[in-house]
């Protein structure tokens, strides 16, 4: 099969909800992937930050291989060892917590929203404050929570009860708080919105506001979780704890799994029958997620991510000095954004032609997510390609 044959099948049979590059990947190992012509690419996109440990890490491959021959599915009205142990590990690495498992980030959002509504239902609280430029998924709950008008276009009436504040502007949040506010829901670092990092004052201020007004603080860690920023969860950079956090993306390193995690001190909100998911916490996906935690546990990989992240930032800043088209560099750990003076799509295309996968969001922000396991050598090689791409742009431009 050729790439064009796959494209033909897509145009015949797949609903066109994505803009697709003419690239058909068939193999991955670590931070390298191959297309069906056996052309090799360095992957600094990691599938929207899903492949945190790189592609096909042996720990995850072995865990899945082991589990798949034993039992693939257990219904949630029976007990599942892998799910129970995974919930224990999540609690150990975050706060004393109870977890609900689902299959994606959007479902984790929906679950957290339902939790917040139920929490507030006794005292008439149902409003949820989220941030402008946020992203929380594509279900009706997700597009309601997402602070970008474009995701709701054509889908009215969407879920009610959301108010949108400005990221890093505590006053704008205060102005939206009322006796009906049940929760404040935000990404510690906005991913889709262009890699905007919450400031210390903002996160700590939100925690204080939530405590004063009996409001839940919910952190969306779908993109920032599982070590990407140099800590297991991004909220840990701020010396605060959320009441609820959502997880997905690299939780299963590619096996579909999501979760919302609730602080144990919030008791008796969910009861049997109040929420459910057929596949949620499925043994196969849970085995993968357990293997992901095992690979990150011990702290070596987190330390490496922090150090490599700082190195990467330094290198990107050097690139910025050289290429004036780079307006700003943002991010933490191995989650980085380069805001450009020009649209980024052409740069993504020319990088791909040269064997480097990156992403562009918000039209002008390159989004780069190296796997935590990437070698410095490969990262440097990727940086050289980026340098070339920018150099060619300035010749063209």
Which residues sit at the interface with ligand PLP, rule CB under 6 A? 48, 104-106, 109, 135-137, 187, 191-192, 220, 222-223, 248-249
User: Closest distance between ligand PLP and the C-beta of residue 109, in Å?
Assistant: 6
Collapsed DSSP state (helix, strand, coil) of residue 2: coil
User: Closest distance between ligand PLP and the C-beta of residue 136, in Å?
Assistant: 5
With residues binned 3-state (H G I as helix, E B as strand, rest as coil), the percentages for the chain, rounded to 5, are: 40, 20, 40
Of 18 and 78, which has the nearer Cβ to ligand PLP?
A: 18
User: Closest distance between ligand PLP and the C-beta of residue 233, in Å?
Assistant: 13
User: Closest distance between ligand PLP and the C-beta of residue 222, in Å?
Assistant: 4
Of 189 and 316, which has the nearer Cβ to ligand PLP?
A: 189
SS (H, E, C) 126-177: CEEEEEECCCCCCCHHHHHHCECHHHCCCCCCCCCCEEEECCCCHHHHHCCC
Helices (H), 340-375: 345-353
User: Closest distance between ligand PLP and the C-beta of residue 78, in Å?
Assistant: 26
220/60 Cα distance (integer angstroms): 24
Chain centre to alpha carbon of residue 91: 19
Of 161 and 193, which has the nearer Cβ to ligand PLP?
A: 193
Of 326 and 365, which has the nearer Cβ to ligand PLP?
A: 365
Collapsed DSSP state (helix, strand, coil) of residue 190: strand
Q: For residue 228, what is the DSSP state? A: T
Of 43 and 378, which has the nearer Cβ to ligand PLP?
A: 43
A 10 A CB-CB count for 76 gives 16
User: Closest distance between ligand PLP and the C-beta of residue 262, in Å?
Assistant: 17
Q: Which residue is nearest to ligand PLP (CB)?
A: 105
Of 50 and 347, which has the nearer Cβ to ligand PLP?
A: 50
DSSP string computed for 260-279: EEEETTS-SSS-TTS---SS
């Amino acid at each position: 099969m050729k790439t064009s044959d796959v494209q033909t099948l897509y145009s015949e049979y797949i609903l066109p909800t994505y803009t697709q590059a003419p690239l058909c990947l068939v193999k991955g190992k670590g931070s390298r992937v191959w297309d069906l012509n056996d052309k090799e690419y360095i992957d600094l996109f990691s599938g929207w930050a899903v492949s945190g440990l790189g592609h096909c890490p042996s720990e995850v491959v072995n865990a899945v291989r082991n589990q798949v021959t034993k039992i693939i599915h257990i219904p949630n009205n029976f007990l599942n060892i892998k799910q129970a142990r995974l919930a224990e590990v999540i609690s150990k690495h975050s706060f004393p917590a109870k977890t609900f498992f689902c299959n994606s980030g959007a479902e984790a959002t929906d679950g957290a929203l339902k939790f917040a509504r139920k929490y507030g239902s006794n005292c008439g609280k149902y409003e949820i404050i989220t941030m402008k430029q946020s992203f929380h998924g594509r279900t009706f709950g997700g597009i309601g929570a997402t602070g970008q008008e474009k995701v709701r276009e054509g889908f009215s009436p969407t879920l009610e009860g959301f108010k949108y504040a400005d990221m890093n502007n505590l006053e704008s949040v205060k102005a939206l708080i009322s006796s009906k506010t049940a929760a404040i829901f935000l990404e510690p670092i906005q991913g889709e919105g262009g890699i905007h990092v919450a400031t210390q004052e903002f996160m700590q201020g939100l925690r204080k506001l939530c405590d004063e007004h009996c409001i839940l603080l919910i952190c969306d860690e779908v993109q920032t979780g599982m070590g990407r920023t140099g800590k297991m969860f991004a909220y840990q950079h701020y010396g605060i704890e959320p009441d609820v956090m959502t997880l997905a993306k690299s939780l299963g390193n590619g096996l579909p799994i999501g979760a919302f995690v609730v602080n144990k001190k919030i008791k008796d909100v969910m009861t049997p029958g109040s929420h459910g998911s057929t596949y949620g916490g499925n043994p196969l996906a849970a085995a993968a997620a357990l293997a992901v935690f095992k690979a990150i546990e011990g702290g070596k990989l987190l330390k490496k991510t922090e150090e490599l992240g700082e190195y990467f930032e330094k290198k990107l800043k050097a690139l910025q000095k050289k290429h004036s088209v780079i307006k700003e560099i943002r991010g933490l750990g191995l989650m980085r954004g380069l805001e450009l003076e020009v649209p980024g799509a052409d740069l993504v295309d020319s990088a791909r032609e040269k064997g480097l996968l990156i992403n562009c969001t918000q039209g002008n922000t390159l989004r780069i997510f190296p796997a935590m396991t990437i070698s410095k050598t490969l990262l440097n090689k990727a940086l050289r390609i980026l340098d070339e791409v920018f150099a060619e742009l300035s010749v063209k431009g």
